[in-house]
Amino acid sequence: MTFLGLRFDESAIGARFSYDLSLVVLSFFIASIASYATLEAAERLRGAGGGRAGHAWHAASSIVLGGGAWSMLAIAMLAYASPLKRGYDPVMAALSGFAILLSATLAFWIMRACTVRGRVGWMYVALGGTVLGAGLTAMLYAGIAALHVAGDIVFRPSLFALSAATALAVSAATLWLAFSPTRWWQRALAAVAVAAAWSGMYRIGMAASAIVATGSPTSRSLTVAEPILAGWIALAAVGASMIVLIGAFYDRRRERDAAYEAVRLRKEVAQRTANLQATADQLDAALAHAERASAAKSDFLAGMSHELRTPLNSILGFSQLLAGGKSFEPLTAKQAGAVQQIEQAGRHLLLLIDDVLDISRIEAGRLPLSIEPVEVAPLIEEAAAMLQPTAIGANVTVHTDAAFRGLFVRADRRRLLQILINLLSNGIKYNKQGGSVSVSCHHVDGEARIIISDTGAGIPAQNLGEVFEPFSRLSQERSANAGSGVGLALCRRLVQAMRGVIRVDSLEGKGSTFTVTLPVAAESERAAPSLPLRATVLCIEDNPASVLLMRHIMKEMADIELVVATGAREGLELARGLKPGLILLDINLPEMDGFEVLKALRSDEHTSEIPVFAITANALPRDLERGVAAGFDHYLVKPLNIPQFIAAVDVALAQPPARRPKRARVKRETATPALAPAPVEVIGYKRPSPFGAAASLLASKLAPTRPVKKPPARGAQLPSAGSGPPAAKPAPDDARTL
């Protein structure tokens, strides 16, 4: 029977043959080395993934498996010994090697698809084993066909099928071992087993082949020296296997080092994270402690201010009544002098309380500063003019240098004036009869240096380090000059808060010189010649971005001074002290909301008549109704419509207090129901609303002096801020509308 060019005959009897034992042993050794190298390369392939490393190990596995199997077969065929003349067909030998390389590449590709899914599936093992087994079978019988002898080769069907089945089984076992987690000694034992299986497959294949002598080999057969050729083939196979084994060794060590490094880094990161967390916890605890201490300090200072000002009110009040009141008997000259001393001491104590509170606010970062370009010359002249009577009484001359006009610094105008007054006052107070105080200013390297020099007794060198310490009077406790030792400490903190520096130079017996250094304002920041202020506007807002926006808006109104308070309590204090022409009040404040602040303002006789604008992002109808009921003069919805806002401010500041509607001060938790709320105007952008009934109700609340119009049909939209208000009749004088 002939199939695919092969003759099959179960009863065929061939010529006798034998094997060179040394070459047989060499072929088994090559098979073992190649099998172990294949398992090592496949172990690297299993964990390499689909990148460049995976492709490299795929190629290495295919080459070492196919090359090792082919080298084993070639050396085994060279070990074949027969009395018949024989030769070798190089083309068939090359085809047998190509068959095993191609099948090994396809088999490993199939197994790589299996490892992507994280497990070895029997379906992939069976499919890969079939491909590799077919390649081994093709290699075996192509190698036998490459052996040309003086006769015909006839195959026994039973042994031929057994050899093919053996090839399939050993291929499936090889792939399963290659892609299963194993240790090196397990791979070594498996390599010996695979080599034995390959050798057995070869022996079965040779037993299935019967060579029947007929004549001489064909003319294209190649005659070689078997031992020499076997040695070269073995050398190439061992070399390729060793290259793969060395590469696998270093790749495994690199992977192990990387794993160790990853573990070390994870431990280090965990340790650092724990340290950072511990540090963060400590910082949080310290911050909480500092905040509690600051809050306690603020509460103490507020309580101290209240407790001290209350008795001072009686002391100063009764001393003034005793000095000139009609309800008391006239005082003698001695009594009048004593009462005058009481009043002077009381006022001195009041100034001391204010200075201590200012220092505390600066240290807590709560002192509001309005940093802007300020011309130095007018401030120096103003301070000198204010202290001129004091200087005349002390027989001290004050000199000012007019050469520095036009020099602007970045500072808070009111606080800089306070610093100049304090330094000039000290220069006059601690001077000698007939002495002098000089004030000059210089522009040096982008900085303005204000220099105040006096001709007094000076400060001892050992006391210079204590000049700016609170309550340090530098051994002046027993002098005739009254003082608290707080003024210079306050000056230093104010200068530092304005990003400046203050220092002192003094020679005992010669006098002292104080130098205040402040940054010079850029040319683009300098405003035009300032006009007389129309009013002061107080903004109570804790959001820095909103404060910055309000500063820029107020710069459009050059005749208004903006004072900012970042907290509700601070805003109430500034409102009582400054009595501003207008208060801009944020609703969402951390200490107390805007409604509580408004109630406090209306219940205080000093602030009850000040117009108050609400500033909020709460634009729902119920929020607007609550603002109307609370008594805000205007309800400003963020984002602001700036032209309308400026117009509302102008109207509020231009209206004389006599024409403003009188407001009843709040004395209970809820206002009297009969008290009508002040008209409110909503200024800002608001999305059109489809709720017509709510819009009608809101319009009636916002403009009670206007005729009530019929509510729009459901689905109508409110006009946006940019569309302009609807036409209406002029409002009465006492209606606060735009």
Helix/strand/coil (H/E/C) assignment for every residue in 430-484? CCCCCCEEEEEEEEECCEEEEEEEECCCCCCHHHHHHCCCCCCCCCCCCCCCCCC
- The helix or strand, by DSSP H or E, that contains position 519, with its residue range, turns out to be strand 511-519
Answer whether 588's CB lies under 8 Å from 546's CB: no
Write the pLDDT tens digit of every residue in 477-499. 444 455 556 778 888 888 988 88
Mean pLDDT of 135-150: 79
pLDDT value at residue 7: 66
Does residue 6 surpass a pLDDT of 70? no
Range 673-703 burial, b when 16+ CB lie within 10 A, else e:
eeeebbbbbbbbebeeeebbebbbebbebbb
Mean pLDDT of 265-283: 92
Mean pLDDT of 543-564: 81
pLDDT value at residue 544: 78
Classify burial at 273, counting beta carbons within 10 Å of its beta carbon; exposed 0-12, middle 13-18, buried 19 or more.
exposed
Range 401-415 burial, b when 16+ CB lie within 10 A, else e:
eeebeebbbbbbbeb
Does residue 415 surpass a pLDDT of 80? yes
Which segment of 185-199, 641-655, 693-707 scores lowest on mean pLDDT? 693-707
What integer best gives the mean pLDDT of the chain? Answer: 75
Please tell me whether residue 609 adopts helix, strand or coil conformation: coil
Owner of token pair 């406090």 = 600
- Name the pLDDT band for 361 (thresholds 50, 70, 90): low
Mean pLDDT of 306-314: 69
Residues facing 448 on adjacent strands: 443, 518
Q: CA 178: distance to chain centroid?
A: 49
Nearest to 374 by CA among 410, 405, 398: 410
Mean pLDDT of 448-466: 86
Write the pLDDT tens digit of every residue in 114-124. 665 556 677 88
Does residue 236 surpass a pLDDT of 70? yes
* pLDDT, greater one: 119 or 519: 519
Mean pLDDT of 83-112: 81
Answer whether 322's CB lies under 8 Å from 315's CB: no
Nearest to 418 by CA among 353, 365, 495, 473: 495
Mean pLDDT of 422-432: 88
Does residue 220 surpass a pLDDT of 60? no
Q: How far apart are CA 373 and CA 445, in angstroms?
A: 17
pLDDT value at residue 273: 92
pLDDT value at residue 426: 87
Mean pLDDT of 37-62: 82
Write the pLDDT tens digit of every residue in 311-326. 777 777 777 777 765 6
Answer whether 663's CB lies under 8 Å from 698's CB: no
Which segment of 125-134, 189-198, 200-209, 313-322 scores lowest on mean pLDDT? 313-322
Write the pLDDT tens digit of every residue in 520-548. 988 766 655 445 567 889 999 888 778 87
pLDDT value at residue 687: 37
DSSP per position, 402-413? GGGTT-EEEE-H
Mean pLDDT of 391-416: 83
- Name the pLDDT band for 599 (thresholds 50, 70, 90): very high
> Could you tell me whether strands 151-155 and 6-8 are parallel, antiparallel, or unpaired per DSSP bridges?
parallel
- Name the pLDDT band for 195 (thresholds 50, 70, 90): confident
Q: How far apart are CA 503 and CA 404, in angstroms?
A: 20
Sorted by where each starts, the structural domains of the chain and their CATH numbers stand as: 2-224 (no CATH), 370-525 (3.30.565.10), 535-723 (3.40.50.2300)
- Name the pLDDT band for 364 (thresholds 50, 70, 90): low
- Name the pLDDT band for 620 (thresholds 50, 70, 90): low
Q: Write the Ramachandran bin of 613: left for phi over 0, alpha for psi from -120 to 50, otherwise beta.
A: beta
Q: How far apart are CA 417 and CA 403, in angstroms?
A: 19
Does residue 64 surpass a pLDDT of 70? yes
Residues facing 3 on adjacent strands: 6
Please tell me whether residue 286 adopts helix, strand or coil conformation: helix
Written as six digits, the tokens of 553 are 């808006």
Nearest to 138 by CA among 62, 81, 70: 70
**How many Cβ atoms sit within 10 Å of the Cβ of residue 394?**
19
Through-space distance between the first and last CA atoms of the chain, rounded to whole angstroms:
115
* pLDDT, greater one: 94 or 88: 94
Does residue 417 surpass a pLDDT of 60? yes
Mean pLDDT of 15-22: 69
pLDDT value at residue 606: 85
Answer whether 570's CB lies under 8 Å from 358's CB: no
pLDDT value at residue 271: 92
Does residue 707 surpass a pLDDT of 70? no
Mean pLDDT of 463-481: 63
Please tell me whether residue 502 adopts helix, strand or coil conformation: strand
- The CB-based long-range contact list for 639-643 (8 Å cut-off, 24+ gap) reads 639/684, 639/685, 640/549, 640/553, 640/615, 640/683, 640/684, 641/683, 641/684, 641/685, 641/721, 641/722, 642/553, 642/556
The sheet carrying 151-155 orders its strands as: 2-3, 6-8, 151-155, 209-213
* pLDDT, greater one: 197 or 355: 197
**How many Cβ atoms sit within 10 Å of the Cβ of residue 120?**
17
**How many Cβ atoms sit within 10 Å of the Cβ of residue 485?**
18
Beta-carbon contacts of residue 276 (< 8 Å; ≥ 6 apart): none
Answer whether 62's CB lies under 8 Å from 104's CB: yes
Write the pLDDT tens digit of every residue in 638-686. 777 787 888 888 888 887 654 455 554 443 333 333 333 334 444 443 3
Nearest to 137 by CA among 121, 160, 119: 160
Beta-carbon contacts of residue 33 (< 8 Å; ≥ 6 apart): 68, 191, 237, 238, 241
Q: How far apart are CA 26 and CA 682, in angstroms?
A: 101
pLDDT value at residue 233: 86
Q: How far apart are CA 46 and CA 49, in angstroms?
A: 7
Q: How far apart are CA 376 and CA 380, in angstroms?
A: 6
What one-letter code names the amino acid at 104?
A: A
Does residue 19 surpass a pLDDT of 90? no
- The helix or strand, by DSSP H or E, that contains position 6, with its residue range, turns out to be strand 6-8
**How many Cβ atoms sit within 10 Å of the Cβ of residue 113?**
13
Which segment of 181-185, 307-311, 375-379 scores lowest on mean pLDDT? 307-311
pLDDT value at residue 54: 80
Q: CA of 644: how far to CAs of 74, 651, 735, in Å?
A: 100, 11, 17
Mean pLDDT of 251-255: 84
Does residue 706 surpass a pLDDT of 70? no
- Name the pLDDT band for 249 (thresholds 50, 70, 90): confident
Mean pLDDT of 691-695: 35
pLDDT value at residue 199: 83
